[in-house]
Amino acid sequence: MGKSKVVMIKGKGALINNRINTKVISLMFKKGLSLLFDCNDFRDALNQLFSPSDRIGIKINTIAGRKLSTNPEISLTLANLLTRIGVRSGNIIIWDRTNDELRRAGYRLNFSGGGIKVFGTDTRRINYEFDLTIHKNIGSRFSRIQSRLVNKSISLAILKDHGIAGLTGVMKNYFGAIHNPNKYHDSNCNPYIAELYETYLIKNKNKLSILDGMIVQYHRGPSYHAQWAKKCELFIMSTDPVAADYIGWQFIEKLRKERGLPPLEEEKRMPYYIITAEKMGLGKANLNEIQLIEYEV
């Protein structure tokens, strides 16, 4: 197997006065995808992952309120790009655990109207599967959005520090796809995050992993604390979720070092789950096996 490719794409002016500039965001996604797949047009890249008949879930992260959640302008921009390869807008679902969290993050819900769908698992008639999916140490009921409504998914996660796991990334983002994430916080969420990702409902469906680093919370996450948040205006993109998380982790460590904070390992919350995921063969967590491309639009 060759190296895993990760693109860190920066967009100057993507975030001005806490407002998203969708033109820059769109450029970042397009260029990032093109770099990821070595092609000139982002549509060629998307066509390698998705087909027009797909039902695609974009799993976002809205637990931390408006200041540190996936901005609607970002997820909608990504969804719109998917329509450019022929995916029907009604077959794209932007989703998270609850409608309340989505609203608090600034989303306008759309369950039954036309266009791109936006709703939470707690929507009446959706909910979690009644039966457990059991895999290694995981025993969870999955959101029916992930299990039934979509056949492919994108993890569009917020890049941030996490008080227990060390890092919230694209793999941990799927804690929001199960009914009992609170049961997997022991031992820095290791091996739970990796084992959850390995379940067929996630591993087989997740095609693209994106870390949203518009604002990066590098300490005291997962909630927002202005004094330890930095505007970075970047995305980390990969088809390898482990590699994306690994690069995100290194980026957090870099920001921590700049601010004189100790490495996560010293705070006993190194994200070992990333190493575990690599051992399980889910991806790469070693700079020697990752091709990192940095680019600014």
Q: Which is nearer to other proteins, 92 or 252 (CB)?
A: 252
Among 43, 185, 203, 207, binds other proteins (CB under 8 A): 185
Residues in the chain: 297
Measuring CA to CA, which residue among 188, 158, 164, 156 is closest to residue 58? 156
**CA 179 from centre of chain:** 18
Q: How far apart are CA 120 and CA 70, in angstroms?
A: 14
Beta-carbon contacts of residue 152 (< 8 Å; ≥ 6 apart): 49, 50, 54, 55, 56, 57, 205, 206, 207
Cα–Cα distance list, 156 to 17, 107, 131, 208 (Å)? 22, 15, 26, 8
Instruction: Examine residue 163 and tell whether it contacts other proteins (CB under 8 A).
Output: yes
Q: Which stretch binds other proteins (CB under 8 A): 15-23, 72-80, 125-133, 166-174?
A: 125-133
Q: Which is nearer to other proteins, 179 or 207 (CB)?
A: 179
Dist. CA 269–CA 176, nearest whole Å:
20
CB of 184 to other proteins, least distance (A): 9
Nearer to other proteins, 169 or 222 (CB): 222
Q: Is 180 an interacting residue with respect to other proteins (CB under 8 A)?
A: yes
Q: 52 vs 65, which CB is nearer to other proteins?
A: 65
Does 130 contact other proteins by CB under 8 A? Answer: yes
Give the nearest distance from C-beta 164 to other proteins in angstroms. 8
- Alpha carbons within 13 angstroms on the beta-carbon side of residue 189 total 27
- Name beta bridge partners: 125: none
Task: Using CB under 8 A, pick the residue from 186, 258, 265, 294 that binds other proteins.
Answer: 186
To other proteins, the closest distance from the beta carbon of 110 in angstroms equals 21
Q: Nearer Cβ to other proteins, position 129 or 289?
A: 129
User: Which chain residues interact with other proteins by CB under 8 A?
Assistant: 63-65, 98, 122, 127-128, 130, 132, 134, 139, 163-164, 179-180, 182-183, 185-186, 220-225
